[in-house]
Amino acid sequence: MVDKTVLARQFIEAIPHARALGLTLTHIGEGEAEITMPYNEDLIGDPRTGVIHGGAVSASLDTCCGAAVMSHPAAPGGTATIDLRIDYMRAATPGQTITTRATCYHITRNVAFVRATATDDDQDRPVATASGAFTVEGK
């Protein structure tokens, strides 16, 4: 399944919005993915504190979930989000890279179920978590 992993990485890094956010795929395979998003002043949601906007964290989580689905051994090809719920636990610390990790924990012929977590340098206290359902597209 090396080919599919390479393909998924190229696919993610070719996404215009993933490039705009500066996303890097740091791990992918077997239904799991990890993406990093470096701190960027353009993504600030509160100019008084420099905290990154929740929307940018959502976009990173969504991308990571999609990558996890595509890397699953039972997924034949592409995917699209059906629904995604994000819970925001705390503000990300300004200046720190945000790392998202997603797991596709169950997949059927039509639907993939995914969970994800976003953290900053303090890996023990999540910034946000996500859970969602994604489509399973044929080849």
Partner 1 sequence: MARPRPEPMQVVKQRRDAALKALVEGVPYIRFLNISFDRRGDELTGVLNFDEKLIGNPFLPAIHGGVTAAFLEVTAVITLSWEHLFPRIESGEIDAEDIISDHNIRFPKTIDFTVDYLRSGLPRDAYARAFISRAGRRYASVRVEAWQDNHAKLFAQATGHFLMPQEPSAKG
Which residues would be at the binding site for partner 1 (CB under 8 A)? 14-20, 41-48, 52-56, 58-63, 66, 78, 80-88
CB of residue 127 vs partner 1: minimum separation in angstroms? 12
Q: Between residues 8 and 59, which has the closer beta carbon with respect to partner 1?
A: 59
Q: Which two tokens stand for residue 1?
A: 């399944």
CB of residue 130 vs partner 1: minimum separation in angstroms? 10
CB of residue 52 vs partner 1: minimum separation in angstroms? 8
CB of residue 97 vs partner 1: minimum separation in angstroms? 17
Q: Between residues 5 and 129, which has the closer beta carbon with respect to partner 1?
A: 129
Q: Between residues 37 and 107, which has the closer beta carbon with respect to partner 1?
A: 37
* DSSP states of 81-139: EEEEEEEE-SPPPTTPPEEEEEEEEEE-SSEEEEEEEEE-S-TTS-SEEEEEEEE----
DSSP assigned state of 6: H
Q: Between residues 1 and 82, which has the closer beta carbon with respect to partner 1?
A: 82
Q: Which two tokens stand for residue 21?
A: 């956010």
Q: Which two tokens stand for residue 66?
A: 């999609």
Q: Which two tokens stand for residue 9?
A: 């990485």
